[in-house]
Amino acid sequence: MPVLALQVEGVTKSFGRVRALDGVDLEVRAGENFGLVGPNGSGKTTLLRLLAGVLRPGGGTLRVFGMKLPSVAARQLTGYMTQTAALYEDLSVRENVSFFWRLYASGRGRSLRAKVDEVLELVRLTDRASSPVRTLSGGMRQRANLACALVHGPRLLLLDEPTVGVDPELRLSLWEHFHRMNATGTTLVVSTHVMDEARRCGRIGLISAGRLIADGTAEELIAGAGAADLEAAFLHYARKSRGEGGEAA
Amino acid sequence: MKIERILAIASRIVRQFLRDRRTVAFLILVPSFVMGLLGYLVNQERATYEVALVNADAGVTLPSGAVVCLGDVVAGALGGESGLHVVAMTPGEAQDALAAGSIAAVFTLPGGLTRDVVTGAGASIGLRLEGAQAAVIQAVSMSAAAALRRCPQLLQDALAALPGAPSRAVPVKPPLQLDVSYLHGGADLGPLDYMASAFIAGFVFFFVFLLTCVSFLRERSSGTIERLAASPVSRGEVVLGYLGGFTVFAIIEALIILLFAIYVLGAVFVGSVWLVLLVELLLTLGAVSLGILLSFFARNELQVIQFVPLVIIPQFLLGGLVWPVETLARPLQWIAAVMPLTYAAGAMHDVMIKGAGIGDIAGNLVFLLGFAVVVAALAAAVLRREVA
């Protein structure tokens, strides 16, 4: 039986009267590159925040590598890249990355420096390591944001719309990072509302109105819906989940 | 210039303000609250101070055989002052009570009072003031002066009423004099000396509270709190980390204000610097915790500023920085009793002016520590509710 990176069972979450997640079941195997695809407000970010341990579910259970959340050990294995760059503006890139590393690992001096250098190299920010974050461009911020999420070498990386507002060149290079990390065994869960991006993931879960409405590879989803592309397939499954019948576009 | 564009901007501002209900409520309620508090404070009845009277006057026996003791007349005049509550004591009792701070002053009537008055030599009445509070010194001195102004007439009446008194009343001259001395401080202490200690505490609290509140708010608005919550860091560690970081700056701040007050402004300082820093440290822990806690109830920097008239100004008004806490109306004293600045300012005052030791201010230190622990625990609990 394959090792499961994620097990989500019957998870619900409400904010006041708004039901953000309405009974989500999901399993992601270790080493998978999983795309969470849905429109804005469908519950993608809420699910990622629950998996990151930032929120607690209203109902249901979540497990990360078999550990039931909330779990400090699970947090130790998880990296979370927020949608908008969550960084300390007055600190340099290096100081930001070092700070987040120190929250996960004990060790300073040379080992810290080497690790931070390695991550900055990976996101190509070595030449801006000493620049305060507030002086960086949007794309650089996003890379610094990623560096903070992966500096502790997580086995599960949660990426919340990592390429929103990023130019095509940087998007390509970010996806190269993601694929490289995935190739070395890191499980990826990437949320996006751009269907084209979703195709870069090995398996895709379609989420709509707080429910997971279908999952499979892009090809399986398209074929299952009898649709021409992923977008049409999404609309098919969304209508079907609302009980409106499943005419493919 | 186009009036339409100006109107567009003006109406947008009005609309934005109306949308922020907290700010609207703030504009309406807070000025009334602060002005009401201030009005209540300024208009409150003059406080009554407990003072001791050591009446050593031996009196004199007149040729007619009548014994006259004018000390009783002076005692009566003092007792008639509404600002004083006079309690008769022996010299030893009075000294102990003054040292313990349970009375504001001791009046001592000398043994030869009657003799000196009758012989026209004039007499001095001893007034020894506790001396640590400018407002108390002023109030007691004013009451004493008023009583003494009435004394010559009262003494004259008393002498005239004696059997066999000359038909023409003996004028009492020169009038009685006050011989003023101080247990702490003294006449050379100005308002600055009395207020510096309390204001050092007040400013440190103010700056540290505001800085923490805004910093923590930024932690939330920038999303970094989300990152912290996703890491193995516990809520307690976050709060303690904040306490550690801000304490460094608060202690530096306290030192700067203290050194400036002593060396540039020339404020009196007779106590231990270490003790002052200990008070500041404990006060800082409370201010940082309160800053974190209240930052959860603010959406932006403007709303943080709104905490100033609610959290800071009442502490400045009631915490003994301007008016001694004992002189406040009873309900205001209850409020003052739960405010950290009351204890910090009181302890700083006692250390700087009276040279109090750690034992003397232990109660204040315990309260400050307790306040910090309780508020830090609350902040950690609210943090838990906010994230995960």
pLDDT tens across A138-194, in order? 888 988 999 999 888 899 999 999 888 778 888 888 888 899 889 999 999 999 988
For A99, nearest residue in chain B (alpha carbons): B228
Taking each helix axis from N to C terminus, what angle separates B191-221 and B235-259, rounded to the nearest 10 degrees?
Answer: 150
| Distance from the first to the final alpha carbon of chain B | 52
What is the structure's pLDDT at B46?
Answer: 67
Option in B223, B233, B234 nearest A82 (CB)? B223
Bridge partners (DSSP) listed for residue A212: A207
pLDDT score, position B177: 82
In sequence order, the 6+-apart residues with CB closer than 8 A to the CB of B293 are B375, B378, B379, B382
Structure token digits, residue B358: 């750690």
**Mutation choice for A interface testing from B221, B225, B231 by most A CBs within 10 A:** B231
Q: Which of B223, B224, B229 minimises the CB distance to A53?
A: B229
pLDDT of residue A1: 61
Q: Assign A85 to helix, strand or coil.
A: coil
With bands split at pLDDT 50, 70 and 90, how would you rate the model's confidence at A249?
Answer: very low
Count, residues in chain B: 388
Distances (CA, A) of B341 to A102, B59, B152, B364: 36, 50, 45, 10
Strands (DSSP E) found in B130-232: 177-182
Q: How far is B20 from chain A (nearest CA, A)?
A: 20
Inspect the interface and report whether the beta carbons of B388 and A87 lie closer than 8 Å.
no
**Where does residue B219 rank: exposed (0-12), middle (13-18), buried (19+ CB within 10 A)?**
buried
A90 touches A131 (CB < 8 A):
no
Within 8 A of A100 by CB-CB distance, chain B residues are 227, 231
Q: Structure pTM?
A: 0.76
pLDDT of residue A248: 46
The rounded distance, in Å, linking the Cα atoms of A221 and A203 is 10
Chain B residues within 8 A of A56 when measuring between CB atoms: 388
Contact, B356 vs B230, CB < 8 A? no
Sheet holding A78-81, edge to edge: A78-81, A156-160, A187-192, A33-37, A203-208, A211-216
Give the DSSP letter of residue B171: P
Length in residues, chain A: 249
The model's pLDDT over A91-131, given as tens digits with 9 standing for 90+, comes to 999 999 999 998 887 666 677 788 899 899 888 899 999 99
Number of inter-chain CB pairs under 8 A, A vs B: 50
- Specify burial of residue B68 (Cβ count, 10 A radius: 0-12, 13-18, 19+): buried
CA distance B50 to chain A (A): 57
Per-residue b or e along B71-104, where b marks 16 or more CB atoms closer than 10 Å to that residue's CB: bebbbebbeebebbebeebeeeebbebbeebebb
Which chain B positions have a beta carbon within 8 Å of A49's beta carbon? 226
Structural contact between residues B49 and B104, judged by C-beta atoms closer than 8 angstroms: yes
**Sign of the torsion formed by the C-alpha atoms of A207, A211, A217 and A222:** negative
Nearest Cα to Cα of residue B277 among B363, B213, B361: B361
Within an 8 Å CB–CB cutoff, is residue A134 touching chain B? Answer: no
Region for residue A113 given its phi and psi (left: phi exceeds 0; alpha: psi -120 to 50; beta: otherwise): alpha
CB contact under 8 A, A103 and B232: yes
- The pLDDT tens digits for A213-248 are 999 998 999 999 898 888 899 999 999 888 876 454
Residue A12 sits at φ, ψ, to 5 deg, of -125, 155
A86 with B231: Cβ contact below 8 A: no
Query: Do residues A204 and A215 make contact, with C-beta atoms less than 8 angstroms apart?
Result: yes
Q: Which two tokens stand for residue B219?
A: 């932690």
CB contacts, 8 Å: B230 with chain A: 52-54, 75, 78, 80
| Residues in Cβ contact with A147 at an 8 Å cutoff, skipping those fewer than 6 apart | A93, A96, A97, A119, A120, A122, A123, A125
Residues sharing a CB contact under 8 Å with residue B194, sequence separation 6 or more, in sequence order = B132, B133, B134, B185, B349, B353
CA distance A218 to A27: 17
Output the six-digit token pair for A129: 């390591």
Q: Which two tokens stand for residue A17?
A: 């009267």
What are the phi and psi torsion angles at B125 (to 5°)? -105, 130
Residue B52 belongs to what H/E stretch?
A: strand B49-55
Q: Do A53 and B388 touch (CB under 8 A)?
A: yes
Within 8 A by CB and 6+ apart from B79, the residues are B86
Q: Does B10 touch chain A (CB under 8 A)?
A: no
Q: What is the pLDDT along chain B (388 residues), one digit of tens a residue?
A: 888 888 889 999 888 888 888 888 888 888 888 888 888 877 766 678 889 999 888 888 877 777 778 888 888 888 888 888 888 899 999 899 888 888 889 999 888 888 887 777 778 888 998 877 777 888 888 888 888 888 878 877 877 777 666 545 555 555 678 888 888 876 667 777 777 888 888 888 998 899 889 988 888 888 888 888 899 988 888 888 988 888 888 888 888 888 888 888 888 888 888 998 899 899 999 999 999 999 988 888 888 888 888 888 889 888 887 777 877 878 888 989 999 999 999 999 889 888 888 998 999 999 999 999 999 999 888 887 665 4
Q: Which residue has the tokens 């890379």?
A: A143
| A111 close contact with B: CB closer than 8 A | no
Q: Are A190 and A34 a contacting pair, CB within 8 Å?
A: yes
> Cα distance from A47 to chain B (closest Cα, Å)?
13
Give the other-Cβ count within 10 Å of B155's Cβ.
26
Angle at B305 between CA B299 and CA B308, to 5 degrees: 125
Question: Strand pairing of A59-64 and B177-182?
Answer: unpaired
Flag if A56 and B229 touch (Cβ within 8 Å): no
B384 in reach of chain A (CB within 8 A): no
